[in-house]
């Protein structure tokens, strides 16, 4: 009995400390099923760009590189538009950008507000300031390289605000009244994306991880107490409603039964939420490594050899410069789900597999497959990731799997044994990313909503019980429940 009482006390006070947070996580999770932080979707970003006109591109890629004085290979190179003019955009390894206007050869590494305001293209706008520190909507790390961000208010009746990069002159983010409200209902509370916390990444990481650990302990202790005090033979008898399987009444009884039914899924959601932070960095990144990129790309940067203006596919909004086996690839992007490859080279699957056969230390290719569809690790709910893809599995100690675009020979993802485990512990348990479920909507929606509702009710009753406990005097807290006649 002493152990049981201690467990009850542990569960009670851990619940008082955490149940309000978990109720908030469950409630915001319902909104997270459909909305996230405000952003500009890729479809809208491309729709804002004009169609590239080949006649206006007079500067060749090699000349743009020479004018920009680039010595090393950038992380990304693209021909896009700025203010209706074609530009080469080079993303450097230090998180900086170089812009070369393809019609004049002018080189820019930053833009003043008077210049960048042309990206707004709204007559009813007012400049709110140059943001050198992240605010609620730009707190993610991806916006740091673009600071200061020029924030602009649009007088459109919807409370629209735009953020323009001082590094590229591009429009990066759009928020309005509705998206900000939905952000506060979804991603901000769910990810604990409160600016005062999130702008300190290490502190934010520790708060999420350790709070989740406390929550896991609370649920485990509660499950032990709940199973201990549950009586299938209904040995608890009450004057009002006869024998029961639980010694509790009212919301406490609901909390008891709710814990028995939804405790397991509540535990897995809290635990998988912690795993989203990749605690203690146990799982390696799924991004391809430099050795894999080099093996497929070739040692020379071929963009330097393109001395003629690039060919542009009809209706293309952007041209992305890629490379495989020492051959340049031009990927013309028309929309988020429509693109074409311009290259004279042909890449068959055996050639690609042969190129990567010896790049993983301590292992060789065990087997490989040409995937016409997504599998359990390489997948995309919006069906935007390229197909077909090659999956090569190695027999090295880390059990590496590589996924490669079969059309462009670009490495896509890299999984090791621990990162595959992480995929299930995080995405599987937290987002219910099980192929049999997320490919069959609205079955996924129904399952997540019903289980989430149970977890929310469990947390909410815990909040109420904790509040009532805090309000009780010590004398009342010691009194036994008057309705309980016998607990034998």
Cα pseudo-dihedral 48, 54, 55, 61, rounded to 10: 110
Percent of the chain surpassing pLDDT 90: 65
Over the stretch 167-213, which tens digit does the pLDDT of each residue have? Answer: 999 999 999 999 999 999 999 999 999 999 999 999 999 999 999 99
Are 79 and 90 in contact, with CB atoms under 8 Å apart?
no
pLDDT tens digit string along 316-346?
999 999 999 888 889 999 998 888 887 666 7
Cα 305–chain centre separation: 37
- pLDDT score, position 161: 95
- Is the pLDDT score of 67 beyond 60? yes
Per the model's pLDDT, the better-predicted residue between 17 and 390 turns out to be 390
Q: In what order do the strands lie in the sheet with 149-154?
A: 125-131, 149-154, 161-165, 171-175
Q: Round to whole Å and give the CA distance between 116 and 165.
A: 8
Question: Using 50, 70 and 90 to split pLDDT, how confident is the model at 476?
Answer: low
pLDDT at residue 416 greater than cutoff 60: yes
pLDDT in tens, 3-20: 877 888 888 888 888 889
CA 38 to chain CA centroid, nearest Å: 13
DSSP string, 70-106: --S--SEEEEEEETTEEEEEEE-TTS-EEEEETTT--
Cα–Cα–Cα angle for 164, 168, 173, nearest 5°?
30
Kindly report the pTM of this predicted structure: 0.88
Q: How would you classify the pairing of strands 161-165 and 236-238?
A: unpaired
Rounded mean pLDDT, 431-442? 90
Of the given ranges (70-84, 339-353, 437-451), which has the lowest mean pLDDT? 339-353
Q: How far apart are CA 420 and CA 401, in angstroms?
A: 9
Residues 221-277 have pLDDT tens digits of 999 989 988 888 888 877 667 788 888 888 888 999 999 999 999 999 999 999 999
> Tens digits of per-residue pLDDT, 78-133?
999 999 999 999 999 877 999 999 999 999 999 999 999 899 888 888 999 999 99
pLDDT at 486: 44
pLDDT above 70 as % of the chain: 95
Q: How far apart are CA 195 and CA 197, in angstroms?
A: 5
Cis, peptide link before residue 442, omega less than 30° from 0: yes
Distance of CA 156 to the CA centre of its chain: 30
Kindly state the DSSP code that residue 385 receives in the 8-state scheme: S
> What does residue 53 show for φ and ψ, rounded to 5 degrees?
-105, 120
Between 481 and 136, the higher pLDDT residue: 136
Q: Is 332 exposed, middle or buried (0-12, 13-18, 19+ CB in 10 A)?
A: buried
Single out the residue of 24, 52, 8 nearest to residue 459, CA to CA: 24
């Amino acid at each position: 009995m002493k152990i049981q009482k201690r467990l009850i006390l542990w569960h009670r006070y851990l619940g008082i400390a955490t149940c309000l947070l978990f109720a908030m996580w469950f409630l915001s999770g319902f909104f997270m099923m459909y909305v996230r932080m405000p952003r500009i979707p890729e479809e809208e970003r491309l729709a804002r760009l004009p169609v590239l006109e080949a006649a206006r591109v007079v500067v060749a890629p090699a000349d743009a590189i020479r004018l920009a004085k680039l010595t090393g290979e950038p992380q990304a190179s693209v021909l896009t538009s700025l203010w209706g003019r074609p530009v080469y955009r080079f993303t450097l390894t230090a998180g900086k950008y170089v812009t070369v206007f393809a019609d004049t050869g002018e080189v820019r590494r930053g833009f003043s507000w008077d210049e960048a305001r042309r990206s707004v293209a709204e007559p009813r706008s007012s400049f709110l300031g140059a943001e050198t520190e992240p605010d609620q909507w730009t707190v993610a790390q991806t916006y740091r390289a673009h600071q200061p961000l020029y924030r602009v208010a649009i007088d459109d009746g919807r409370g629209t605000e735009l953020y323009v990069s001082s590094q590229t002159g591009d429009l990066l983010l759009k928020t309005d009244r509705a998206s900000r409200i939905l952000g506060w209902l979804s991603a901000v509370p769910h990810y604990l994306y409160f600016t005062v916390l999130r702008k300190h990444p290490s502190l934010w990481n520790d708060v999420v991880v350790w709070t989740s650990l406390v929550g896991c302990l609370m649920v485990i202790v509660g499950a032990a107490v709940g199973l201990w005090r549950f009586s299938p033979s209904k040995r608890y008898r009450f004057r009002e409603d006869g024998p029961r399987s639980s010694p509790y009444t009212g919301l406490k009884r609901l909390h008891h039964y709710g814990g028995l039914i939804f405790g397991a899924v509540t535990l897995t959601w809290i635990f998988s939420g912690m795993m989203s932070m990749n605690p203690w960095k146990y799982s390696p990144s799924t991004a391809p490594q430099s050795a894999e990129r080099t093996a497929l790309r070739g040692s020379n940067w071929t963009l330097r050899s393109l001395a003629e203006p690039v060919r542009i596919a009809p209706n293309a909004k952007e041209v992305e410069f890629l490379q495989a086996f020492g051959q340049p690839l031009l990927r013309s992007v028309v929309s988020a789900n429509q693109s074409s490859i311009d290259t004279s080279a042909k890449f068959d699957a055996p050639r690609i597999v042969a190129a990567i056969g010896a790049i993983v230390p301590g292992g060789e290719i065990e087997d490989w497959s040409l995937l016409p569809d997504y599998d359990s690790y390489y997948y995309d709910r919006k069906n935007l990731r390229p197909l077909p893809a090659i999956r090569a599995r190695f027999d090295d100690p880390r059990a590496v799997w590589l996924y490669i675009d079969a059309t462009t020979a670009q490495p896509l993802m890299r999984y090791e044994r621990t990162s595959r485990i992480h995929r299930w512990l995080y995405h599987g348990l937290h987002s219910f990313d099980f192929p049999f479920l997320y490919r069959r909507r609205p079955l996924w929606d129904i399952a997540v909503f019903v289980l989430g509702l149970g977890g929310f009710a469990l947390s909410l009753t815990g909040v109420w019980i904790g509040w009532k406990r805090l309000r009780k005097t010590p004398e009342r807290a010691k009194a036994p429940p008057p309705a309980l006649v016998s607990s034998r």
